[in-house]
Chain A
Amino acid sequence: MSREGNPTRFSPFSKQKGPALPTGLIERMIGGVLLGGVLLSSALILAGLGWHCIRYHDLTFKYLISASTVFQFFSHDLSSFVSSPPRPRDLLNLGIAVLLLTPYVRVAISFFYFLLVERSWRFTLITGFVISVLTWGILRG
């Protein structure tokens, strides 16, 4: 049965085939960020797992991270990746951090779009509020 027949079964990762409206700038940017974020995150996690498997002949990672904010998690991982010899777990952490930051980047892009392109003060305020709360969460936890 086609998914058009029952819209409540509309499935993820699917694309509508038909004469939809031409995709606008904001749709292209948001769609690209979301898809790119998920693909990059999955690639980093897969690379980390593959590297770990080759190096240790084991796929199980036994380590814990202490309580941290998304920003600390990302910056700490990035700095250890750059400054010291990289380890498989750094790629794994980076993959998770990229995934966590994907919706954040999406909201940030929307904010700048409404501010600079559409010049809608209502939606600049709305997305500004969302990005402020998320930034607080990322920095303070």
Chain B
Amino acid sequence: MSFITLILISSLAGLIGALGGMGGGTLLIPALTALGMDIKHAIAISMVSVIATSSGAAAAYVHDRLTNLRAGMFLEMFTILGAIAGASLTIALPQRPLFIAFGAVLILSWASTTWRRRQDDPKPEKAADHFTAALGLAGSYYDLADRTQIEYQPQRAGVAGPTMLLVGAVAGLFGVGAGALKVLVLEEILKLPTKVATSTSNLIIGVTALAGSSVYLAAGLIDPGTTAPVILGVLAGALVGTRLLNRLSNRRAQQLFMMILLVLGGEMILRGVFR
């Protein structure tokens, strides 16, 4: 695959991913495989590029004190183990089930994002269980929309942790950040406010991606000549996408992204079935 093709494809994946509030990996893997790249190489390359986009985003969020560092570090214990298991499974599996399962994950991401967007009601305040309280995960952040300091008390850390093992496995298996699933767990189980959930998810993604990447590198699946332009392309696309996001209608950008996600999910399943 030529340098120009790689830069164009990865920039587009990063741009559309940023417009949809997700990383570039979700779209990068279908695009690279459509151009003839082996799915295992595409997954491995995408996993490295995830480190770049998530670290760039996490840096800003952490600096602004939106991230719940303690919650992130607690959940990382589980996601890294899941990512190592998931990446090891990818190496062992044949290509066909990988295509089908990746398509299913895209559709699942579409469904979880759509479902999450309908949840607008404020969550009831509850006292934390003993385990969560003992971890000291309570936090606060300044909400720009309301111009108030919001305090929150996470809950059910004992359930969120093991659930993150599965989310980490999905990330490692498919070389994606699995941000939609991570945010879902952080919001629905740990009961973090949406902004905190999104920023904490970014912190976790980088470490999870490193755990998965180390398995892929050891398997000889990371080709620097291909990986380097993809890193630059996805980063550049994400930067432009972020700038563009403020100028586009939220609804229109989201609808476009959701449609792409659904179509690619179906297309990957069909490619796996008729392979």
Binding site for B on A (CB under 8 A): 1-21, 23-24, 26-28, 30-32, 34-35, 37-38, 41-42, 45-46, 48-49, 59-70, 73, 89, 92-93, 95-96, 99-100, 102-104, 106-107, 110, 120, 122-123, 126-127, 129-130, 133-134, 137-138, 140-141
Contacts and interface: CB of A to CB of B under 8 A. Distances in A.
B133 interface: no
A64 B223 contact: yes
A102 B227 contact: no
Contacts of B171: none
Given A7-B194, A99-B52, A42 B232 contact: yes
A18 B144 contact: yes
Contact of B73 (A8, A48, A123): A123
11 contacts: A8-B113, A8-B116, A17-B144, A30-B58, A34-B55, A42-B52, A70-B210, A89-B224, A126-B77, A137-B80, A138-B214
B126 interface: no
Interface stretch (B29-37, B99-107, B233-241): B233-241
Contact of A141 (B54, B74, B218, B235): B218
A123 B54 CA distance: 23
B48 A34 contact: no
Given A8-B198, A13-B60, A67-B219, A46 B211 contact: no
A12 B142 contact: no
A138 B60 CA distance: 26
Interface in B207-255: 207, 209-211, 213-215, 217-220, 222-225, 227-229, 231-232, 235, 238-239, 241-242, 245-246, 249-250, 254
Contacts of B136: 120, 122
Contact of A99 (B3, B198, B231): B231
8 tightest Cβ-Cβ pairs between the two chains A and B: A141-B218, A12-B57, A61-B225, A67-B220, A137-B214, A31-B63, A35-B59, A34-B59
B62 interface: yes
A137 B210 contact: yes
Given A7-B193, A8-B194, A110-B69, 10 more contacts: A5-B250, A6-B250, A9-B21, A13-B56, A15-B60, A92-B225, A95-B228, A96-B48, A130-B76, A138-B214
Contact of B228 (A5, A19, A96, A104): A96
A123 B53 contact: no
Contacts of B261: none
Contacts of A120: 136
B242 A38 contact: no
A103 B18 contact: no
B20 to A, nearest CB: 9
Interface of B: 2-4, 18, 21, 48, 51-60, 62-67, 69-70, 73-74, 76-77, 80-81, 84, 113, 116-117, 134-136, 140-145, 147, 183, 193-195, 198-199, 202, 206-207, 209-211, 213-215, 217-220, 222-225, 227-229, 231-232, 235, 238-239, 241-242, 245-246, 249-250, 254
A38 B228 contact: no
Contacts of A73: 217
A100 B224 contact: no
A59 B3 contact: yes
Contacts of B218: 67-69, 140-141
Contacts of B59: 30-32, 34-35, 38
A141 B212 CA distance: 9
Given A34-B55, A127-B73, A134-B80, A12 B18 contact: yes
Given A27-B63, A27-B65, A41-B52, A1 B250 contact: yes
A10 B199 contact: yes
Contact of B245 (A11, A34, A61): A11
Contacts of A32: 59
Given A13-B239, A110-B73, A38 B224 contact: no
